Structure 1
């Protein structure tokens, strides 16, 4: 049996790890594409990424330059807002610190090392940003991606398949699903002349797999179907929900406290697998994705509620819900934790 506060920390550590990995990958794709684009198009692409991650208000408040390298710094190294890679890495470390007695020592060492490396990169970037033209931030992205892969590898190969691992994996897969839906929404309304399916698939780490099945220049609908409904792609929402349902079944057998999330996950999976998704994506894609995003946010809120139900605690430690939609507090604060109610997510 796992303690409620440990389950909560495992859940959020998984979510933050997936967020850090995804944002770092998106920034890496954008950075590599900058040199091949006209300046106006590069700035537009960077702003679309900020919008997809829900950080428009923070971006405006920070008065960041619209240049692509400045946007990259904002998304990677700027921990003054909760939507950066640096902030997510810090949150991973803090959540794993709470459960150090339940995780392999190698996992804690990797998380701590990644945090230290990101802080060092931030310090160097702050002092040399103008002289390097963004190269320091590029190194921060490489550091973050390698660190996240190392954490994932240690987690997969070293952790016992107990309740803690189940909560950690559920957190990762829910965050992945939510981010995938948001990135798909970012491709809407851009027009067929500027929509880049390869860019979208690269954001979700699915480009090579997609090329084997849907070709090299997919339409938005083809890319959306691939990322939402593919049965064997670990990045598809359908695959993630199937895995979440399995893990919630395991947790129900062990603790019996996740009945509502199990039903909701099953209903969402059935909608993607058997619903009339093709017609919805063709005729009203924005409404379909908004509804799916809201349903995933509610599922994530239900899973979180199941981890603290009956614990007698107002909250274990405050978290922000999604980049740009809440403020992270210190673990010692006892404010009620924000619920995952934003349609854009609980990208938390």
Structure 2
């Protein structure tokens, strides 16, 4: 497969996964904050920006950290290349560029979803019916992924598309867990529900654990091999795909993802929690996923530069998302 085609499909997968995750994160946060104080709301919306690695970019806009302003930035702002509107449009553009290699049914579903989203008055819907808008985005992306699963021959195009999906999903989950885990030092059960709903894992958690504690949350969302949005689950699938598109004996990407996956495979949540600051462990996993993405770009795509995961482009010498520890945080009103 041509490197440009592989790159376009890889990013189409990442764009769509990011749009779906962002919609779910915003929807969960919107419902969680209906009955909390303004200060708590500002803190929660700051966390949302950190979960999608856009706190620094948002801070540069000078906007206040309010629910409507943050939501508009992450949904409708086309100057923000990580917004839902931008991500969906870029996914369509990438797929259109290689349309002759795609299943006709898949392209039809993706194209229809993108065109229908473009007809929505996003600003008005954020004012009047945000949950309906978020539901539309989630269902649209899930429909695209479902049709891909049912119609796409497991060729290299499908593999690169799904590699993008799984790497984006793994990074989103580990970052969300890292940002939100400190919130779970209290018995406030609604915080637990919110984090689990972002990962579509509330039912799985209830079936598996009796109590709500940080160790169980880490066990489910980081180390579970059978929860679709857990980090380990996504890394397993990404590794399997990667081994099929590069030479596994000489590939740096395969070595990186194999080592990271193995560390998760044999880790125990209790040991991780007892070893010290669990957020540092999660930060390390997040950095490992970025390194894997950069290695994939160097091996498989036209550019050997690092990926700028915020702008979703390959840029010469670009630096991936800044670690949250060094990132400027939006100003929270007191």
User: Which category describes the TM-score, using the shorter chain as reference length?
Assistant: 0.7 to 0.9
Judge conservation of contact 1:93–1:112 (CA < 8 Å) in 2. Answer: yes
Segments of 5+ residues of structure 2 without an aligned counterpart are: 325-334
Does the alignment pair 1:148 with 2:128?
A: no
CA distance in structure 2 between the partners assigned to 1:335 and 1:183 by the alignment: 26
Number of matched residues? 321
Structure-1 residue corresponding to 2:217:
223
Among candidates 253, 258, 263, match of residue 271 of structure 1: 263
**Per-residue displacement from partner, 1:172-203 (whole Å, max 9, x unpaired)?**
11111111110011124336236822211111
Q: Using the alignment, how far apart are the partners of 1:191 and 1:208 within structure 2?
A: 18
SS in structure 1 at match of 2:222: helix
Residues 264 and 179 from structure 1, CA distance in 2 versus in 1: closer, same or farther, beyond 3 angstroms? same
Question: SS of the residue aligned with 1:20?
Answer: helix
RMSD over aligned CA atoms reads 2.6
Report the counterpart of residue 176 of structure 1 in structure 2: 169
CA contact (8 A) 1:198 1:218 kept: no
Residues 87-236 of structure 1: pairs in structure 2 closer than 5 A = 87-121=86-120, 124-126=121-123, 129=124, 134-190=127-183, 192-193=185-186, 196-215=191-210, 218-236=212-230
Within 5 Å, give how 1:1-348 maps onto structure 2: 2-121=1-120, 124-126=121-123, 129=124, 134-190=127-183, 192-193=185-186, 196-215=191-210, 218-252=212-246, 259-275=251-267, 278-282=270-274, 283-308=276-301, 313-314=302-303, 320-322=308-310, 327=311, 336=316, 338=318, 340=320, 342-343=322-323
TM-superposed CA distance for 1:144, in Å, is 1.2
> What are the superposed Cα offsets for residues 289-329 of structure 1, whole Å, 9 maximum, x if unpaired?
11111111101111122212xxxx4479x97413xxxx467
Distance 1:87 1:257 in 2: 38
Compared CA separation, residues 108 and 197, structure 1 to 2 (3 A): same
Rounded to whole Å, the distance in 2 between the matches of 1:91 and 1:80 is 13
Task: Find the aligned partners of 2:323 and 2:165 in 1 and give their Cα distance.
Answer: 19
Identify the structure with bigger relative contact order (alpha carbons < 8 Å, sequence gap 6+): 2
Give the drift of 1:272. 0.8
